[in-house]
Chain A
Amino acid sequence: MSELNWSRYLTEMTLAFHILFATIGVGIPIFISIAEWIGIRKKDPHYTLMARRWTRGFVITVAVGVVTGTCIGLQLSLLWPEFMRFAGNVISLPLFLETFAFFFEAIFLGIYLYTWNRFSNPYRHWLLTLPIIIGSSASALFITMVNAFMNTPQGFTLENGRLINLDPLAAMFNPATPSKVAHVLSSAYLTSAFILGMIAAFSMLRGRNNDYNKKSIRLNMITGLILAAATILFGDISAKFLFEKQPEKLAAAEWHFETGSQAALVIGGHLDPITHEITGAIKIPYGLSLLASHDPNGVVVGLNDFPRDEWPPLYVHYLFDAMVGIGFYLLAVPVLFLLISRVKRWNTYNRWILGAILAGGPFSLLAIELGWFYAEVGRQPWILRGYMRVAEAATTNPNTPITFWLFAALYLLLGIVCLVVLGRLFRNKPAELELEERRIIL
């Protein structure tokens, strides 16, 4: 195998691992902040305890997120030196701003952790959550800008193989930025809602039927409903963006070969790799045209309009379908939960709904992975769409395989130890015990 492939696999592995922790890292601070605020306002110690317990787990995941983020930061230069030399001129500003945001978050997280009882006014401690939220969400914003730039590069002119006449702001605010940032942020918050809901649902299924868990689930599902709706809306806007600016990515996701109006939406199915005939799929007439242009007669560009060597791999269709499917599942669960909670005769926290919330945690993380794989694989073969192919950017260093295995071992170690530590953290000290210690009556 070539250096190119090893470089790709290593980058994929690092990002796939990092994105789990990064997503949680962006979303959880919001919930910590909400819980602490409700706790102070309503003088409800359950919520205050919630904020404390979530923070404790959060620190562990932040640590892994930070170190794997450092890995990907350095790997950019180690594995893709040609790319960094070529495009580093144009995108260093958002990369740089991202580290500022990260710095800001790191400072206030440290303060937040060690000042729980140091302020006489509890709102002061709560105020510290705001810079943490700003820092974590801003770093997601800036790093997504870099990624958006790779999809729709602008803010420079190409001359003799060099990028000149740079406009850093135009590069940051490229066409892909708004829809991408919105979708990334809302999906990160949504995922965190379900991860926290999953934990509470898990302990209720284990028989810990108490107000603490119920309040957590209620909070997570109400916010989850809003966030799922927002995520689907931003996903729709993203599809419209692809239709306008990156039609080959949308066409690959929908197996849409012939340019034409009244295009159908293809769900599932199997593609014949040679004849491009689709079997066994559910086809929704006009669906793709509606999705892309909000007009059943809209003309959608097909893959055949592009040279073969600029096609993304066609398996991205499955990634896309699965991501969208999970998105609607994550909307359905909170809707169902809130409907049931309106009916007095039924038990809101029945086993089925708890099971559905529990499954929402891993599903939402899976959707994050699927969505990113779709976004990244969907712009193959380009690393900088229209300007530089992935093959031209990789390192020439022959030691990529060793590096790959070293990092694989690292992520395995971190993944296992992190799960063990998190598990022990909460098993050794369940919420009930802590409530009792703090003399909170259940």
Chain B
Amino acid sequence: MSYELIGISVLWLFLYGYLIVASIDYGAGFFAFYARLTKQDHLINRLISRYLSPVWEITNVFLVFFYVGIVGFFPDTAYYYGSALLVPGSIAVILLAIRGSFYAFENYGSKENSVYLFLYGATGLLIPASLSVALTLSEGGFIVEEGGAVTLEYLKLISSPLSWIIVALAIVSVLFISSAFLTFYASRADDQPALKLVRTYALFWGTPTIIAALTAFIYLSQHNERHFQNMMDLWWLLALSVGFFMIAMWLLYTGRRYGLAFICVMLQFFSAFFAYGIGQYPYILDPYITIQSGATQESMGIALVIAFIGGLCLLIPSLILVFKLFLFDADYVKGKK
């Protein structure tokens, strides 16, 4: 396999990782705020903060990692996306900054504050919406290069149904993934009231997720025929995704094996996400950047791949340690440590 293909595969894997951990985080923020509004916060907020406090910074790194990696492997992405996305990109970064810092202020600071929690909860939905715009842009037609200047056609973007359905899909997926995870976490903590609450969230957000996914797929067929056809060729991956979704919903509904249910949700998104990514091949930004044309030179590409491998040797054991301490240590989850 050529180095640029390894590069994009690993980056896509990291983006998937970010999709899962960030969804848990963003959704949890929203649920924490929603629960306080409806005066149910005593049920779940302790649970949420027990999980999130040790890991919120790691979540953030996943994004930076993906971003630095794609700019490193494909410097052209910095040029096109960077030039076009000045305003939307800045807004997304500002939201991320507010969210991250106010999480710390709320949790490690000395006093509970509803304004902090509101900022934290609201940004939990706005950030996935704004980040998903980058996926829409990659489909082509919104970024135009003319006379050495790259511009983003805002009007076209705002009036496109595709961009709105992708935003909607991002938001409902976040809520679904997050509630599925919290259900699992609550069951591990053996916290019945919290479990009851988050399980209804998970059951509620499952249906809109699958509807939004199908709708987005239909609009994609109108916007980018090539991408749609490629994905149709990968029909078995999409079918697998729907299958995992159905298993997950059934497990949630019957109220057992929540761990398995969450794994099914992860697999559901994994197969859909990779069908989407493989279908986009060879483009990173249709039609300006392809994986081959945009790649950095070979010596740097190889150096980056080596750095990847070395880094992963360091990261994977550390992440396993985190999981052991905060996710699979029953006493910690129950709040005894």
Contacts and interface: CB of A to CB of B under 8 A. Distances in A.
Given A103-B61, A111-B322, A118 B337 contact: yes
Contacts of A114: 53-54, 325-326, 332
Q: Which of B90, B108, B297 has the most CB of A within 10 A?
A: B90
Contacts of B60: 66-67, 70, 106
B100 A92 contact: no
A108 B84 CA distance: 36
A60 B109 contact: yes
B65 A99 contact: yes
Contacts of B326: 110, 114
Contact of A103 (B58, B96, B111, B337): B58
Contacts of A96: 68-69, 72, 304, 307
A418 B55 contact: no
B318 A410 contact: no
Contacts of A86: 75
Interface string A248-283: 000000000000000000000000000000000000
A97 B310 CA distance: 10
Contact of B307 (A70, A77, A93, A417): A93
B193 interface: no
B68 A81 contact: no
Interface stretch (A234-242, A287-295, A394-402): A394-402
Interface residues of B, number: 70
Contacts, number: 225
Interface string A146-188: 0000000000000000001011110000000000000000000
Interface stretch (A336-344, A357-365, A422-430): A422-430
A406 B94 contact: yes
B54 A85 contact: no
Give the secondary structure class of B's interface. Answer: helix
B101 interface: yes
Interface residues of A, number: 75
A421 B58 contact: no
B86 A88 contact: no
A59 interface: yes
B93 A95 contact: no
A258 B149 CA distance: 43
A100 interface: yes
B105 A428 contact: no
A190 interface: no
A387 interface: no
Nearest to B76: A85
Q: Which of B80, B85, B101 has the most CB of A within 10 A?
A: B101
B79 A85 contact: yes
A111 B325 contact: yes
Contacts of A75: 90, 93
A111 B321 contact: yes
A127 interface: no
A107 B69 CA distance: 19
A222 interface: no
A92 B97 contact: no
3 closest A-B pairs by CB: A92-B72, A63-B104, A77-B82
Given A89-B297, A103-B311, 14 more contacts: A70-B60, A73-B67, A78-B90, A88-B78, A89-B296, A92-B72, A95-B71, A96-B307, A97-B311, A99-B64, A104-B314, A114-B325, A396-B150, A428-B110
Interface of A: 56, 59-60, 62-64, 66-71, 73-82, 84-86, 88-90, 92-93, 95-100, 102-104, 106-111, 113-115, 117-118, 131, 164, 166-169, 395-397, 399-400, 402-403, 406-407, 410, 413-414, 417-418, 421, 424-425, 428-429
18 contacts: A59-B104, A63-B105, A63-B108, A79-B82, A82-B79, A85-B78, A89-B297, A90-B300, A93-B303, A95-B71, A97-B311, A103-B311, A111-B321, A118-B325, A118-B337, A396-B148, A399-B87, A407-B90
